[in-house]
């Protein structure tokens, strides 16, 4: 533990890094405060009833928002519209060559892509805010009173909240440490921990708590091992001439292939699809009269039960989608053909495989195998979040704590923590190198 926290301790002693850390802490405090700013005219009693009738679907969606959806605050939509927009533009770089060329144009291309991503995120936010406002104003739900003023206020408040989070994420990336968007999701998940732990201690048996803590620790260990794991393919470079006849000796290196290169994106994609039918069915049931038992009612109940988080149908579909999206997103971010071409261009060769197509086929085979293992890992961790409360027989009021022992939540928490430590470690190493260069320039060495 001391070794893992060493970059954080050393960074606190460097004024510039300490200021960056303090900036991040200040932004997190502002974020937590904004979580409690409600949109106008919310009937919180009706909202709580809606959560209880959602079969855990709304609770699952609320994982990443720090409880903003349950309170229906201005941050209820969270940062997800921006993430969705970013993913769409990443996919466009594969489908359309123009976007790929633009991405490779350096700072100008990156700024242009970032600008388009923001505009697309605004459009998605307005669309989602409009749908949410209409749903909450449904007379059978009654969370908001149905009138044009409420609709406009709700759409503007939710859109402004998401735009504020996007601005905050970009500022954290620029003036803090690590990725600001990941930091916001991290803060939203962790901010719910004290309340959930308190509910757990009040309602669960001590043995259940001990088992949950053991599962929590084991899951963290498992996530760290897999996310840090990589398959290293050896690469050798021949001797080459480097200016004025000087020869550089042959070098040996390796090509690192991450087992969980896709990260948390496949889970986000998969859960969006799996929860959608049950969510639509639940919204439909909420609009029906109290004593209605027609064909539509029976179909909606069947769909809601089939796609509930603890349904075997939903679990199998969820696991299959996670596996599929793991392969898809790995292909999006990892172009094997370009990698093989670059190795050939710079004289690199994998021992036993000729440059070009043989190298491409070998790397692709290795990547396919480790991606399969990474997909199984993501599917296992994702399903753990659904099934942990049932396996441990946790009371319903304590089920929320299960969001911190599996699925996207814990994967993000551990991933962001590792990213922070790696970033701080790199910053420290860079400053040590700069200090060494300054000494050399001054004749100190």
The string of pLDDT tens digits covering residues 166-180 is: 999 889 888 887 778
CA dist., res. 326 & res. 143, Å (int): 37
pLDDT of res. 434: 52
* Any domain includes 214: no
For the cut 80, the answer to whether the pLDDT of residue 321 exceeds it is: yes
Is residue 109 pLDDT above 90, yes or no? Answer: no
Distance (Å, rounded) from C-alpha 123 to C-alpha 100? 23
Residue 128 structural domain: 13-191
pLDDT in tens, 338-355: 888 888 887 788 888 888
Question: In this structure, what DSSP letter does residue 249 have?
Answer: P
Q: What is the pLDDT of residue 443?
A: 53
What was the pLDDT predicted at 440? 44
In a domain, 154, yes or no: yes
State how far the alpha carbon of 252 is from the alpha carbons of 16, 27, 255, 366, 392, in Å.
36, 44, 10, 20, 50
One DSSP character per residue, 218-248 reads: HHHHHHHHHHH-EEEEEEEE--EE-STTPEE
Residue 3 placed within a domain:
no
Buried b (16+ CB within 10 A) or exposed e, 308-323: bbebeebbebbbebbb
CA dihedral of 67, 68, 70, 71, whole degrees rounded to 10: 120
The domain that holds 182 is classified in CATH as 1.10.3370.10
Residue 242 — very low, low, confident or very high, per pLDDT cuts 50/70/90? low
Of 42-46, 241-245, 381-385, which gets the smallest average pLDDT?
241-245
Residue 59 lies in a domain: yes
Would you say residue 445 has pLDDT above 50? no
**Lowest-confidence pick of 275-289, 350-364, 367-381:** 275-289
Tokens 């350096």 locate to: 106
Residue 356 inside a domain? The answer is no
Total count of domains within the chain: 1
Cβ atoms 264, 329 nearer than 8 A? no
Residue 156 lies in a domain: yes
Residue 55 lies in a domain: yes
DSSP H/E element including 285: helix 265-287
Q: Is 154 helix (H, G, I), strand (E, B) or coil?
A: helix
Confidence at residue 407, expressed as pLDDT on a 0 to 100 scale: 55
> How do residues 404-420 score in pLDDT, each as one tens digit?
444 567 777 777 777 77
Token pair belonging to 304: 């809601």
For residue 258, the surrounding DSSP H or E stretch is: strand 251-258
**What is the structure's pLDDT at 433?**
47
Q: Do residues 313 and 306 make contact, with C-beta atoms less than 8 angstroms apart?
A: yes
Residues facing 234 on adjacent strands? 254
Strand, helix or coil for residue 251: strand
The verdict on residue 40 lying in a domain is yes
């Amino acid at each position: 533990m001391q070794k893992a926290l060493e970059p954080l301790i050393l960074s606190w002693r460097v004024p510039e890094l300490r200021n960056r850390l303090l900036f991040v802490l200040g932004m997190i405090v502002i974020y937590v405060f904004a979580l409690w700013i409600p949109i106008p005219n919310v009937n919180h009693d009706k909202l709580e009833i809606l959560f209880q009738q959602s079969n855990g679907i709304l609770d699952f969606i609320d994982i990443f928002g720090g409880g903003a959806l349950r309170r229906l605050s201005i941050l209820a939509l969270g940062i997800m519209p921006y993430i969705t927009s970013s993913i769409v533009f990443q996919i466009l770089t594969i489908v359309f060559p123009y976007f790929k060329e633009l991405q490779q144009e350096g700072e100008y291309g990156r700024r242009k892509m970032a600008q388009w991503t923001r505009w697309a995120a605004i459009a998605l936010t307005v669309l989602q805010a409009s749908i949410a406002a209409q749903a909450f104003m449904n007379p059978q739900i009654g969370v908001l009173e149905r009138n044009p003023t409420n609709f406009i206020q709700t759409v503007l408040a939710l859109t402004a909240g998401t735009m504020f989070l996007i601005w905050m994420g970009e500022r954290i990336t620029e003036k803090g440490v690590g990725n600001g968007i990941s930091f916001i999701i991290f803060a939203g998940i962790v901010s719910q921990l004290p309340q959930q732990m308190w509910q757990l201690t009040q309602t669960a048996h001590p043995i259940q708590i001990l088992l949950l803590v053991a599962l929590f620790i084991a899951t963290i260990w498992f996530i760290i091992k897999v996310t840090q794991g990589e398959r290293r393919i050896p690469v050798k470079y021949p001797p080459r001439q480097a200016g004025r006849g000087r020869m550089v000796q042959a070098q040996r290196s390796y090509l690192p292939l991450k087992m969980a290169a896709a990260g948390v994106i496949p889970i986000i994609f998969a859960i969006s699809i799996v929860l959608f039918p049950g969510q639509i069915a639940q919204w439909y049931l909420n609009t029906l009269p109290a004593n209605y038992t027609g064909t539509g009612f029976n179909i909606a109940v069947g769909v809601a039960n089939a796609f509930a988080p603890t349904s075997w149908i939903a679990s199998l579909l969820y696991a299959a989608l996670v596996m599929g999206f793991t392969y898809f997103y790995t292909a999006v971010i990892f172009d094997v053909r370009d990698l093989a071409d670059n190795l050939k261009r710079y004289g690199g060769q994998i021992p036993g495989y000729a440059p070009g197509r043989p190298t491409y086929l070998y790397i692709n085979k290795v990547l396919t195998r480790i991606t399969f293992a990474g997909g199984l890992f993501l599917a296992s961790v994702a399903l753990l979040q659904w099934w942990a409360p049932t396996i441990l027989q946790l009371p319903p009021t304590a089920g929320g704590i299960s969001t911190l022992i599996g699925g996207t939540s814990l994967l993000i928490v551990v991933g962001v923590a590792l990213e922070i430590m790696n970033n701080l470690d790199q910053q420290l190493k860079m400053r040590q190198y700069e200090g060494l260069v300054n000494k050399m320039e001054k004749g100190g060495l």
